[in-house]
């Protein structure tokens, strides 16, 4: 595996420790931060919040964007706006970051896990359809899980590592079964499926700007939607549901302190100015990785699915088996190249081990074999 370490070191032109994914601040970040500080508007009100919301909506093609403190809060509010309530069920994939299931749990709802597709790493339409056909029925325009008697209110597919899932097929299935589709697009800013940006297929979607994302403000997230009423409600309840008034403190519903500060928005406006360059750089890196791993036995570089254009947020390889995966992880990390395995399946975690699952053959296969490799934009 020495040749792998040497290739990564040569690619990043350093013999020092190479992290998995680190942010790049090479544009107007300091300038806009200073402007924000000088204005004294550093909290949730300020021109950069408004500017960021307009620019992220324009970039994705959504009509509205609502800036939030992080991607998890964006997903939480999206699920609330989808009317996910206590004891409802939400279908999602077990191969995801914990934030997906945490957001479902914040609504006092319960996840149901269906399998993923091997080529997209995202929720499988065939697994979803099979589960619904075998376990569910429509009663009074609601999807009822015959096993539990609970309402399946929503479905949350995730675009894993920025690779789009078959979101159009999932959407059609959800509409047939009266299930609200909410996209977890946390990792897929700059990714497209059939020419359309991820997150714009669903009624609501959440995007993350965490410190390891393709653009970042150290945190941050947003909700995107084409529904004006939902957009207004999202902005209202993420700002403590305060009724506008020059001095009175009146709140008309339970709200959340989820509004993105102007300081963070200033960073994101600067980062957005560089997003196209970041995306181009990542695609170039993906091409180099793909060519290199073509000549390496028993390791396959994971490419974007058909009919997709991925942002290649995190590059990943597929090893022969779990033993090879563990050997790869140990060797690379011991030699200064940070790699990490894909997430532990959600249904294996203590909090979700009692949740209903379909056959998870593909998820288990990927859990045993997928490793993320250094994916930072190169300077």
pLDDT bucket at 45, cuts 50 / 70 / 90: confident
pLDDT bucket at 258, cuts 50 / 70 / 90: very high
Tens of pLDDT, residues 100-158: 999 999 999 999 999 999 999 999 999 999 999 999 999 999 999 999 999 999 999 99
Tens of pLDDT, residues 327-351: 999 999 999 999 999 999 999 999 9
Domains and their CATH numbers in the chain: 2-24+275-346+356-373 (3.90.1150.10), 29-274 (3.40.640.10)
Whether pLDDT at 44 is above 90? no
Q: What is the mean pLDDT of residues 12-21?
A: 96
Q: Looking at residue 235, what is its pLDDT? A: 97
Tens of pLDDT, residues 289-316: 999 999 999 999 999 999 999 999 999 9
pLDDT bucket at 379, cuts 50 / 70 / 90: confident
Q: Looking at residue 169, what is its pLDDT? A: 98
Tens of pLDDT, residues 274-285: 999 999 999 999
SS3 readout for the chain: CHHHHHHHHHHHCCCCCECCCCCCCCCCHHHHHHHHHHHCCCCCCCHHHHHHHHHHHHHHCCCEEEEECEHHHHHHHHHHHCCCCCCCEEEECCCCCHHHHHHHHHCCCEEEECCECCCCCCECHHHHHHHHHHHEEEECCEEEECCCCCEEEEEECECHHHCCCCHHHHHHHHHHCCCEEEEECCCCCCCEECCEECCCCCCEEEEECCCCCCCCCCCEEEEEECCHHHHHHHHHHCECCECCCCCCCCECCCCCECECCHHHHHHHHHHHCCHHHHHHHHHHHHHHHHHHHCCCCCEEECCCCCCEECCCCCEEEEECCHHHHHHHHHHHHHCCECCEECCCCHHHCHHHCCCCECCCHHHHHHHHHEEEECCCCCC
Q: What is the mean pLDDT of residues 13-19?
A: 95
Q: What is the mean pLDDT of residues 181-205?
A: 98
Q: Which tokens belong to 183?
A: 């996209």
Q: Looking at residue 241, what is its pLDDT? A: 95
- Rounded Cα distance between 85 and 70, Å, is 22
pLDDT bucket at 1, cuts 50 / 70 / 90: confident
- Rounded Cα distance between 190 and 195, Å, is 11
Signed CA dihedral, 129, 134, 136, 137: sign only: positive
Q: What is the mean pLDDT of residues 238-248?
A: 94
What pTM did the predictor assign?
A: 0.96
Q: What is the mean pLDDT of residues 194-215?
A: 97
pLDDT bucket at 42, cuts 50 / 70 / 90: very high
Q: Looking at residue 2, what is its pLDDT? A: 86
């Amino acid at each position: 595996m020495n040749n792998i370490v040497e290739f990564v070191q040569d690619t990043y032109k350093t013999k020092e420790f190479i992290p998995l994914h680190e942010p790049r601040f090479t544009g107007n970040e300091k300038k806009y931060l200073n402007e924000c500080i000088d204005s004294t508007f550093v909290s949730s009100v300020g021109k950069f919040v408004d500017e960021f919301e307009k620019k992220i909506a324009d970039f994705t093609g959504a009509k509205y964007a609502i800036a939030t403190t992080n991607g998890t809060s964006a997903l939480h509010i999206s699920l609330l706006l989808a009317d996910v309530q206590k004891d409802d069920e939400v279908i999602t994939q077990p191969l995801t970051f914990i934030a997906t299931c945490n957001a479902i749990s914040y609504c006092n709802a319960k996840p149901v896990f269906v399998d993923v597709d091997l080529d997209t790493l995202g929720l499988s339409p065939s697994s979803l359809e099979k589960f619904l056909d075998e376990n569910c029925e429509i009663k009074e325009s609601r999807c009822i899980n015959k096993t539990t008697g609970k309402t399946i209110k929503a479905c949350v597919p995730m675009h894993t590592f920025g690779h789009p899932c078959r979101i159009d097929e999932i959407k059609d299935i959800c509409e047939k079964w009266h299930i609200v589709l909410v996209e977890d697009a946390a990792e897929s800013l700059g990714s497209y499926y059939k020419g359309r940006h991820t997150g714009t297929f669903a009624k609501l979607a959440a995007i993350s700007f965490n410190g390891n994302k393709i653009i970042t403000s150290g945190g941050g997230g947003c909700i995107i939607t084409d529904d004006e009423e939902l957009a207004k409600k999202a902005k209202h309840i993420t700002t403590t549901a305060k009724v506008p008034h020059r001095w009175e403190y009146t709140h008309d519903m339970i709200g959340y302190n989820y509004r993105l500060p102007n300081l963070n928005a200033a960073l994101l406006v600067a980062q957005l100015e560089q997003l196209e360059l970041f995306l181009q750089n990542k695609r170039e890196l993906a091409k180099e990785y793909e060519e290199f791993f073509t000549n390496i036995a028993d390791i396959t570089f994971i490419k974007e699915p058909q009919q997709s254009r991925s942002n290649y947020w995190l590059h990943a390889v597929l090893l022969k088996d779990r033993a090879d995966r563990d050997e790869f992880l140990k060797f690379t990390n011991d030699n200064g190249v940070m790699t990490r395995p894909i997430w532990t399946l959600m249904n294996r975690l203590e909090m979700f081990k009692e949740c209903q699952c379909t056959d998870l053959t593909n998820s288990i296969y990927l859990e045993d074999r997928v490793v993320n490799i250094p994916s930072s934009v190169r300077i």
